[in-house]
Amino acid sequence: MSYTITWGLLGPGRIAGKFINDLLFAADPSRPTTIKHKLLGIASNSNVKNATRFKNETINQESNTEIQCYEKYDELLANDQIQVVYIATPNFNHFELCYKCLQAGKSVLMEKPFTINAKQTEILIELSRKKKLFLMEAFWTRFNPIYEDVYKLCFEESVIGDIVTITSQLSFLFEQSDPSMDRIYNPALGGGSSLKFHHKQHCQILELM
């Protein structure tokens, strides 16, 4: 018996294209699953053309007639058929949007960083528990199979003994003069390297310690 999870998307931008196409099409024949995914709604708060362009040009789907495009995020949340909302907007509004989704009875998969401070995260976790809704950060590196190998080598096979120090480096070049990179640099949009990358390293380091 198969089960279909129905999705809505807020923020049809760069990472959303990668995630949604993977969600819908990257079925690995070696790992048959009874869970299927269906995208039912795409919402752009700034311009509905973003949503329709995403539907027509970004999604690699032969038949996308079931996908509704919305010109406001709130309109998508009113669609009772949508179970899970994937939030792929800049960091500064993650909290507000997630709160609204949970209040509307939707489960949420939130792009990283989950929120811009710990208090916001606590509030969302509490609300999701109260509402009995699934809530998760889209932390893909956490699921990279290489980490299974690392944990096995460190903890099951103890190949390097006790870990006393970890050094980690992660750098990317984002062109500051490119206006589309504003969310990376602008603190008002939740920019800055701490929110962009550091949490990834911290999480993995803490798991190893």
Ligand X SMILES: NC(=O)C1=CN([C@@H]2O[C@H](COP(=O)(O)OP(=O)(O)OC[C@H]3O[C@@H](n4cnc5c(N)ncnc54)[C@H](OP(=O)(O)O)[C@@H]3O)[C@@H](O)[C@H]2O)C=CC1
Binding site for ligand LJPVP2WV (CB under 6 A): 112, 196
Q: CA 201, 109, 195, 55: dihedral to nearest 10 degrees?
A: 120
Chosen from ligand LJPVP2WV, ligand X, none, partner binding at 137 (C-beta under 5 to 8 Å by type): none
**CB contact at 8 A, 97 and 120:** no
**Spatial distance between the Cα atoms of 42 and 51, rounded to a whole number of angstroms:** 6
Smallest Cα–Cα separation from 85: which of 22, 138, 10, 140?
10
DSSP percent split of the chain into helix, strand, coil, nearest 5: 45, 15, 40
Cβ distance to ligand X smaller for residue 9 or 133: 9
11 binds, among ligand LJPVP2WV, ligand X, none (CB under 5 to 8 A by kind): ligand X
As measured in angstroms, the least distance from the Cβ of 196 to ligand LJPVP2WV is 6
Task: Give the E-state strand segments of 27-99 in sequence order.
Answer: 35-43, 68-70, 84-87
The residue (of 105 and 187) whose beta carbon lies closer to ligand LJPVP2WV is 187
Q: How far is the CB of 130 from ligand LJPVP2WV (least distance, A)?
A: 30
Q: Considering beta carbons, is residue 94 or 112 the nearer one to ligand LJPVP2WV?
A: 112
Residues lying near ligand X in the complex (CB under 6 A) are found at: 11-16, 44-46, 50, 88-91, 111-112, 138, 140, 180, 183, 189
Smallest distance from ligand X to CB 58, Å: 11
Return the beta strands (E) in 93-168 as ranges: 107-111, 135-138
CB of 96 or CB of 155, closer to ligand X: 96
